[in-house]
Amino acid sequence: MRQGVRIGVDVGSVRIGVARSDPQGLLATPVETVPRGRGDLARIVELAAEYEAMEVIVGLPAHLSGAEGAAAKAARTFAAALARRSGLPVRLYDERLTTVTAEQALRSGGSYGKGRGKARRKVVDQAAATVLLQGALDAERLTGRPPGADVRDGS
């Protein structure tokens, strides 16, 4: 298992959930929700620098069938721009069902009922980023290989 902090990013059309791992790459925790639009890349680059991240994992929202739609295309575009801007390795990792899993975890933990509307959605976005990143960390631990595909070369 590679050592170093990873940043997990769940890109939505309105908000971006952000999570980070511990330096050992074992546990993902929520960080913040970044509004999508002007300044979003800069904020994520800032967070990566603040946490001294070794790489960024961006969720790739494929359909359950594995096919990719508009959201996956947008995530690929965002990941490529983030890689150029940050200079860090950026990997795309399958995020199917992360939001559903995050909502279920929040409900079972009693956190989902707190807040309304936007406040609740921000918590869900951060939780989805955390589920995404934890999945990537677990996959690396199981396989011994970095998770997903590097946006620079597809590996």
pLDDT of residue 122: 72
Q: Which alpha helices (H) appear in 51-116, and where do they start and end? A: 70-86, 98-109
Q: What is the pLDDT of residue 121?
A: 73
Torsion of CA 122, 109, 24, 84, to 10 degrees: -20
Chain-centre distance for alpha carbon 14:
15
What does the pLDDT read at residue 114?
52
Residues of the chain with pLDDT under 70: 97-120, 154-155
* Contact residues for 53 (Cβ-Cβ < 8 A; gap 6+): 4, 5, 6, 7, 20, 47, 88
Which pLDDT score is estimated for 3?
A: 95
56, with CB counted inside 10 A (0-12, 13-18, 19+), is: buried
Look at residue 62 in the predicted model and tell me its pLDDT.
Answer: 82
Q: What is the pTM of this model?
A: 0.85
Q: How high is the pLDDT of residue 124?
A: 84
| Range 6-146 classified under CATH 3.40.640.10 | no
